[in-house]
Amino acid sequence: MKSGFSSSPADRLALAVVTEPERAVPAPAGAREEAMRALLQTGADAGVTRIATRPNGDGERLLGQAWPFPSPFSVSVRTLSLADGLDRVEARARRSLERLGLPRGDVLLASCASDLAGAEGRALWDRMRALKDRGLYRRIGFVSTLEDGPVALARRFQPDVVQMPCNLLDQRPASGGVLDELAGLGVEVQVSSVFARGLLFTNRENLPPHLAGHGVALSRTRRLLAEARIDPMQAALAYCLGLPSVTAVVASLASAAELRAVLAAAHAPRPDLDWDALALREPAALTADPRVLVSTAA
C-alpha cells in the first residue's frame, strides 16, 4: 500500500481555487488577477505544490495569468462531461492547457466516473490515454463517488489517480476500506469535499432542505468539537491528512486569507478525537444533491 504521508502537510494539500461569484469577492479584472497572484504566492511560499482545476468559468485563465515564476505547481485538469461528445472532451482538455499557459499538465481526470462506466467509457479512456502518451499529461485518472464503485473501475481501467469525496461527516470511503483498496492497486488516492461542502461551518437554520432532518446530528458533531476546543477546519483537515492511503487532500478556497486559515489549521497539532463519533450516522444524505454548496468551503 502506498503511504500518503510526507514531511509537511502543505506538500499534501491540493488547492482548488474558486472563482465563482458566490464565493469570490467581486472585483475588477485587474484586482482579481492580483488577488490570484497573492493566493498562489502564498501557497508557493508555504510549500504547496498542487493545484486542482475545473473547465468552467474563468479560473483556468486567471491561473494562467498569475503563476509565480518559477512556478512550483503541478496542475490537475478535469474533462468536460462525456455528454458534450468525445471530440469536444479531448479538445477542451487541450484547450485547458492553453488557458493555463502550460505546455503539459500533471493529471487529467475524467470528471465523472459514470462516464467511464457507460457505453463510450473505453473510448473516453483511450482518448485520455492518447493525450498522456503524447506527453500532454503525465498521468490520468477519474473523479468518483463511493456509489460509482471506484475499486471496480480502477481494476478495469488501471488509472494513475482516483479522486473522491471523503470527510469527517462522511467517512465511508475510509472506514469501508475503499481508499485502502485503491492504494493497494497502486493508485494515487486524492480526497475532496474535505469540508463537506461547508456543512461543518453552517448553523441548523441555514441547512438546505434535503439536509434539514440532519440538523441535530450536525449540531452534535459541532458540539463535540467545541467541547474538545477544536476548530472544525482543523478537525476536518486533521482527519483527511491522517488517512494513510491518501496522497493529496483537495481544499477549495477563494482567497489568500482563506488559504492562510487552511495552512494554519493543517499545521496545527493533530487532535486526539474519537473520529468515528463525529461522523453522520446517515452520511449518504450529503451526496443527495451535489449542487448544494452551503458555505465557503467545499
pLDDT in tens, 82-125: 999 999 999 999 999 999 999 999 999 999 999 999 999 999 99
| pLDDT reported for residue 91 | 98
CATH architecture label of 9-197+231-283: Alpha-Beta Barrel (3.20)
CB 192 within 8 A of CB 250: yes
Cβ atoms within 10 Å of 92's Cβ, excluding its own: 16
Q: What residues contact 87, with CB distance under 8 A and at least 6 apart? A: none
Q: Is the pLDDT of residue 199 over 90?
A: no
Confidence of residue 287 (pLDDT cuts 50, 70, 90): low
The domains of the chain are located at 9-197+231-283
Question: Letter for the amino acid at 132?
Answer: K
Q: Which residues on adjacent β-strands are paired with residue 51?
A: 15, 75
Confidence of residue 296 (pLDDT cuts 50, 70, 90): very low
Question: Letter for the amino acid at 261?
Answer: A
Say how far apart CA 92 and CA 78 lie, in whole Å. Answer: 9
Question: Letter for the amino acid at 24?
Answer: A
* pLDDT tens-digit readout, 141-190: 999 999 999 999 999 999 999 999 999 999 999 999 999 999 999 999 99
* pLDDT tens-digit readout, 233-280: 999 999 999 999 999 999 999 999 999 999 999 999 999 999 999 998
CB 72 within 8 A of CB 96: no
| pLDDT reported for residue 1 | 40
Say how far apart CA 34 and CA 62 lie, in whole Å. Answer: 10
C-alpha dist (Å) from residue 262 to 104, 164, 234, 244, 254: 28, 20, 8, 20, 11
Cβ atoms within 10 Å of 122's Cβ, excluding its own: 12
Q: Is the pLDDT of residue 297 over 50?
A: no
Q: Is the pLDDT of residue 286 over 80?
A: no
C-alpha dist (Å) from residue 13 to 43, 45, 79, 210, 251: 10, 13, 21, 30, 7
Q: Give the chain's end-to-end CA distance (angstroms, integer).
A: 28
Phi, psi of 190 (to 5 degrees): -120, 140
**Percent above pLDDT 70 for the chain:** 89
The enclosing H or E element of 164 equals: strand 161-165
pTM reported for the whole predicted model: 0.90
| pLDDT reported for residue 20 | 64
Q: Which of the pair, 269 or 5, is modelled with greater confidence?
A: 269
| pLDDT reported for residue 295 | 41
Peptide bond into 209 cis (omega under 30): no
∠ CA(206), CA(256), CA(56), 5° rounding? Answer: 70
* pLDDT tens-digit readout, 26-77: 666 678 899 999 999 999 999 999 999 999 889 999 999 999 989 999 999 9
Helices (H) and strands (E) in the chain, counts: 13, 8
Say how far apart CA 210 and CA 291 lie, in whole Å. Answer: 12
| pLDDT reported for residue 265 | 97
* pLDDT tens-digit readout, 210-229: 777 778 888 889 999 999 99
C-alpha dist (Å) from residue 272 to 57, 80, 94, 284: 40, 41, 45, 26
Q: Is the pLDDT of residue 9 over 80?
A: yes
Phi, psi of 150 (to 5 degrees): -65, -30
